[in-house]
Amino acid sequence: MSKFEDMTKAELAEVAKLYKVEDKVEKLAAERAREAGKGKPKVPGNDIYIEVLEGLKAERAEEAPAEAKVGKKIGNKHSSKGKTLAQVRSDFLHTKVEVIITDHDTSTSVEEELEGRVVNISWGNKRGKETARIKLNGGPQYVKEGALRAMETIKLSTNLKDKSSRTKKRFGIDYLAGWTEEKLLAMRELQKTKMAV
């Protein structure tokens, strides 16, 4: 019995939205409706949400190395039975993912070497604020989902005169699940040429 089976339909929909798999849920519901001989797509039930989320969990577990498995808790261990939506969300935000971070801020001169550049990203709430040191060297690294979500909200000003209009994302985040070694090396070379300009 998985932790998803203890959740309500609203909680399952929220978790599917959090993992960005709503489209897979809709496709599976439409497929089930076709199999049943109904023309109209079926409204997704708990069984469809659970099947998609369990499939995603298994898929990520196969892709991730042993030290970064999806669902690995950092900190205190909790029982998986009866988890609330807040606990599932917290588990997700503490899951480490392999990424390459690109810094699009060219307004400052880089005095440090490329290998030594880091940025501190704070995320969380007033009770549980966390800070992550993210390397900007263009290499693959494991970063918590919570820090990545915080990095997605940081914007740059595109107009030099009006700094209040921040529209461009400062950091580019490339998820590395399924990348080959050649693609990783090409991305690293691209990072180095961007920093040299």
Q: How does pLDDT run across 38-94, given as a tens digit for each residue?
A: 766 667 888 888 888 888 877 776 665 544 444 444 444 545 556 778 788 878 888
Among 22-36, 58-72, 173-187, the least confident range: 58-72
pLDDT, position 73? 46
- What is the 8-class DSSP label of residue 189? H
Closest CA to 89 of 7, 175, 26: 7
For residue 147, pLDDT beyond 60: yes
Please give the Cα distance from 28 to 48 (Å, whole number).
7
Q: How many CB atoms lie within 10 A of CB 25?
A: 20
Q: Give the residue-averaged pLDDT of 126-144.
A: 84
Alpha helices in 9-168 (DSSP H): 9-18, 22-35, 46-63, 85-93, 145-152
- Kindly report the pTM of this predicted structure: 0.48
- Report the share of the chain in percent with pLDDT over 70: 72
pLDDT, position 112? 52
Question: How far, CA to CA in Å, does 22 sit from each of 15, 136, 153, 182?
Answer: 9, 32, 22, 32
- Beta-bridged to residue 120, according to DSSP, are 133
Q: How does pLDDT run across 80-123, given as a tens digit for each residue?
A: 556 778 788 878 888 888 888 887 776 655 555 566 788 888 88
